[in-house]
Structure 1
Amino acid sequence: MRVLTHRATRTAALVGAVAATGLLLTACGADGTAPPASSSPSATAAAPGSAASQAPAPGPFNDADVLFAQMMIPHHEQALEMAELADGRAENAGVKKLAAAIERAQDPEIRTMRAWLAGWGRPGSADHGSGHGGGDAAGHGMAGMMSEQDMKDLAGAKGEEFDRAFAELMIAHHEGAVAMAEDERRNGVNPTARKLADDVVRTQSAEVAELRRILGRL
């Protein structure tokens, strides 16, 4: 009888210890301490507020998304070079306004796309090696890119001659960017990259229409 009482006492003490441990774990969870990681497949998804969900372009991405950024960066960079030439050369108010709008829009977009590539762990430019024009950007499918001679001719123009050349060259350049953005909308999967592609199509199509109107008045 005395042995049974002793065992009962030990059992009660063990139950109490387990209960106390459970309460302690519950309290730890309540004050924000993260529980051990689950072994279930859903544990691999990014939690709200995590580093993964705060990436510059969160979500899945594919080769089309990467190539869109890698190719659009130098495409935008050339558009900026063209827009900067308008300072001191352009005469038409509409050309000056569009050049300023291009600088405001495309410089931040370049920084954005560079951040995507860094976040994705991909190089900042596409491989322009053999089989892709030997380093020539246009040979890699970047439609609308100006040649070195085009840029020299534009830099040497002034007044109405500059305005006309700028409008004609920028129309071709923008149409190339729109074609690249439409490829991204068809083939890309990253929501952020696709959203920028939508913006490029909308904004640059409107600018092409305005440049055509300017040409009609020159």
Structure 2
Amino acid sequence: MHARTLPYRFILTALTVIAALLLTACGDTTATDAPDDIDLNDADVTFLEGMVPHHSQAVEMARIVPDRTDRPELNALAEQITTSQNEEIDTMRQLLTDAGERPAPTGMDGMDGMDQGGGGMAGMMDDSEMQSLMTAEGEEFDLMFIDMMIRHHEGAIESSQDVLADGQSPQVADLAEGIVAEQESEIEQMREWESQWS
């Protein structure tokens, strides 16, 4: 009898271990699939809510480029700005949503009162500047676009550095660091073109 009960005990033990492993695996999967907690302070929220319309204006400026210039390098920059900043807009809106905040509006409707004199983020163009850009052509447009986009980028960098100092969310910090690195590089390139084309 003793010899016959050993296999049964072994099987019972093995089944118990397997069941425990399966439960652990299920628990791990649930924890892994759960979204990271998003904890934003006032600085994080202010940055995200302001940067969405700020980025939207940069995209609007970039979309003008193909109809106003023949320079392939400027067209390539405009495409890069459109792609990267649209992706960042989606990220910022998702962060606000995940934190239970109301997502900031995109597009020109989200820019009401966001010019330099309206309490908006630094570097944003006012209506008259946007109108001038939309009507300029050729070399005048090229230099005007570069000048405005440099100022626009400098404003984004300033706001990003502010949230890096005052924010608490690691997700927002990662985003801000990416904006600084990318836009500093683009400013350097635009300054080179400005000196060559002036």
State the TM-score, normalizing by the size of structure 1: 0.71
Contact 1:184-1:194 at 8 Å conserved across structures? yes
Contact 2:114-2:121 at 8 Å conserved across structures? no
Contact 1:143-1:177 at 8 Å conserved across structures? yes
Residue segments in structure 1 that go unaligned for 5+ positions in a row: 1-22, 35-46, 127-133
Instruction: Give 2:32's aligned residue.
Output: 49
Q: Deviations over 1:160-200 (max 9, x none)?
A: 11101100000000000000000111011111110110011
Instruction: Give 1:40's aligned residue.
Output: none
User: How has the CA–CA distance of structure 1 residues 141 and 156 changed in structure 2, closer, same or farther, with 3 Å as cutoff?
Assistant: closer
Cα offset for 1:84? Answer: 0.1
Structure exhibiting the larger radius of gyration computed from Cα positions? 1
Cα offset for 1:91? Answer: 2.5
Q: Deviations over 1:71-93 (max 9, x none)?
A: 11000000000000001212323
Structure-1 separation of matches of 2:114 and 2:47: 17
Contact 1:91-1:163 at 8 Å conserved across structures? no
Instruction: Give 1:32's aligned residue.
Output: 23
Instruction: Give 1:166's aligned residue.
Output: 145
Instruction: Give 1:187's aligned residue.
Output: 166
Q: Deviations over 1:14-69 (max 9, x none)?
A: xxxxxxxxx9xx789724289xxxxxxxxxxxx83253xx24xx343211111111
The aligned length equals 171
Contact 1:80-1:107 at 8 Å conserved across structures? yes
Structure-2 separation of matches of 1:135 and 1:74: 11
Amino-acid identity (%): 38
Structure-2 separation of matches of 1:91 and 1:175: 26
Structure-2 separation of matches of 1:48 and 1:140: 42
Structure-2 separation of matches of 1:95 and 1:162: 11
Partner secondary structure for residue 86 of structure 1: helix
Cα RMSD, aligned residues only: 2.4
State the TM-score, normalizing by the size of structure 2: 0.78
Instruction: Give 2:189's aligned residue.
Output: 210
Residue segments in structure 2 that go unaligned for 5+ positions in a row: 1-12, 106-111
Contact 2:115-2:125 at 8 Å conserved across structures? no
